[in-house]
Amino acid sequence: GENVEQHPSTLSVQEGDSAVIKCTYSDSASNYFPWYKQELGKGPQLIIDIRSNVGEKKDQRIAVTLNKTAKHFSLHITETQPEDSAVYFCAATHTGNQFYFGTGTSLTVIP
């Protein structure tokens, strides 16, 4: 099955700085890569996703890049704010399959 690795496990940044979280996957058949934000006591919330026919996608302060050849994808958050503090999970899947999640990154934005 698919194996998704995520780094770093913890990340602290100053408010206004950028944050980058990286994930790698093993199954070349994976073609959909969502990112989830999980706040304390809540379920994961989809914040952005990318499909394998696209190399980059941006939504306001959040962007995701995908390198299919190297089998890695990254989440970029610019101009971080305290409300960005949460645990972020990457995931990978392909048609008809389950979602495989990374181990999570705990992001702390220091005011």
Partner 1 sequence: EAGVAQSPRYKIIEKRQSVAFWCNPISGHATLYWYQQILGQGPKLLIQFQNNGVVDDSQLPKDRFSAERLKGVDSTLKIQPAKLEDSAVYLCASSLVHSGNTEAFFGQGTRLTVV
Where on the chain is the footprint of partner 1 (CB under 8 A)? 4, 6, 31-32, 34, 36, 41-46, 49, 51, 89, 91, 93-99, 101-104
Shortest CB 103 distance to partner 1, Å:
5
On whether the CB atoms of residues 64 and 75 are closer than 8 A, the answer is: yes
Nearest to 77 by CA among 91, 63, 87: 63
Shortest CB 100 distance to partner 1, Å:
8
Q: Which is nearer to partner 1, 12 or 45 (CB)?
A: 45
Q: Which is nearer to partner 1, 68 or 78 (CB)?
A: 68
And the tokens for 96?
A: 């008809």
Q: Which is nearer to partner 1, 57 or 99 (CB)?
A: 99
CA atoms within 13 A on the CB side of 14: 1
The answer for residues whose C-beta is within 8 angstroms of residue 58's C-beta and 6 or more apart is 64
